[in-house]
Amino acid sequence: MPRKRVYTDEQRLERHREASRRYREANLEKVTAYNKQWKMDNWEYYREYNREYLRRWRQTKKTGRATK
């Protein structure tokens, strides 16, 4: 029985990206519907994520101005 191939982390990530891209291309409607439903189900997460993102953005904007 042949041994199982061992992939490096980089190869594994690349294979995963390629498989994900092919799946999304083949099942675009299904993926889009799933993503919309996930966003509706997890709107609290998005609210918190956006709040944190904006806070960081404002902070870097302020520090960026101060250094210029």
What are the extents of the domains in the chain? 9-67
> CA 62 to CA 56: how far, in whole Å?
10
Q: Is the model's pLDDT at 67 over the cut of 70?
A: no
Q: Residue 56 in contact with residue 64, Cβ under 8 Å?
A: no
Residue 31 CB neighbour total at 10 angstroms = 14
**Which pLDDT does position 65 carry in this prediction?**
61
- Which pLDDT score is estimated for 2? 85
Q: How far apart are CA 13 and CA 17, in angstroms?
A: 6
Nearest to 27 by CA among 16, 15, 19: 19
Rounded CA-CA distance 17/10 in Å is 11
Q: pLDDT tens digits, residue range 32-55?
A: 999 999 999 999 988 998 999 999
